[in-house]
């Protein structure tokens, strides 16, 4: 992203598993990772937020949910002790722990159909890094590593990207345009910590203006 239009128009509000619902003026939602398995008990008790996220996503708010954010949209998350916690339930799936890193490293994602962040046949650079897996990893992209290994991944629609791969930010412009079909100005709601927010705000590829 090299023009200042995005800097002026994309504004982000941050919150770490707090509040009761998504801000009314939000027209986009980014669940950008983190470690929900470490906060699963607290996250599961925020029923009003879980319910609102479920409703807003099913109503079509443009949503990117990567890795931990993807897990948050599951029906449940199991922790390492075997405790199971209810999550947003957008995806009828469970997230569960394994004993080693899953599908670790850099990949290229090839889109199998048009979706929120790109069109069929396009590709995106991404990476995966997670000890948890999912009963519903998705099949709308093919991920390929440089050594030739590949697998299917990501659940998508016209308004949703939900999967383990973390993308680089080349998809932001299409996502911004999709958000503008919902509201006149892009207001993204991203529930992350202040430390994560600061890291995101200085990412020159993203060029976000942060409002606290």
CB atoms within 10 A of CB 6: 17
Q: How many Å apart are CA 148 and CA 203, to the nearest integer?
A: 30
Coil vs helix vs strand at 142: strand
Q: How many Å apart are CA 77 and CA 71, to the nearest integer?
A: 7
Q: How many Å apart are CA 103 and CA 109, to the nearest integer?
A: 13
151 burial level (CB within 10 Å; 0-12, 13-18, 19+): middle
Distance of CA 88 to the CA centre of its chain: 13
Active site residues: 67
């Amino acid at each position: 992203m090299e023009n200042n239009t995005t800097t002026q128009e994309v504004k982000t509000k941050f919150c770490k598993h707090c509040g009761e619902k998504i801000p009314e003026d939000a027209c986009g939602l980014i669940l950008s990772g983190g470690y929900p398995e470490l906060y699963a008990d607290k996250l599961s008790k925020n029923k009003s937020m879980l319910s609102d996220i479920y409703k807003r996503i099913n109503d079509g708010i443009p949503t990117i949910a990567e890795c931990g954010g993807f897990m948050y949209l599951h029906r449940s998350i199991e922790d390492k002790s075997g405790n199971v916690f209810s999550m947003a339930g957008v995806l009828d799936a469970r997230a569960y722990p394994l004993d080693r890193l899953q599908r670790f490293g850099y990949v290229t994602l090839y889109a199998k159909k048009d979706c929120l962040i790109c069109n069929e046949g396009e590709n995106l650079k991404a990476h995966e890094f997670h000890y948890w897996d999912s009963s519903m990893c998705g099949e709308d992209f093919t991920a390929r590593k440089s050594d030739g290994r590949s697998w299917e991944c990501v659940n998508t629609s016209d308004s949703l990207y939900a999967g383990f791969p973390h993308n680089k930010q080349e998809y932001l412009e299409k996502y911004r345009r999709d958000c503008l079909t919902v509201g006149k100005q892009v207001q993204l709601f991203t529930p992350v910590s202040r430390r994560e927010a600061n890291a995101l705000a200085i990412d020159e590829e993203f060029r976000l203006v942060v409002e606290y």
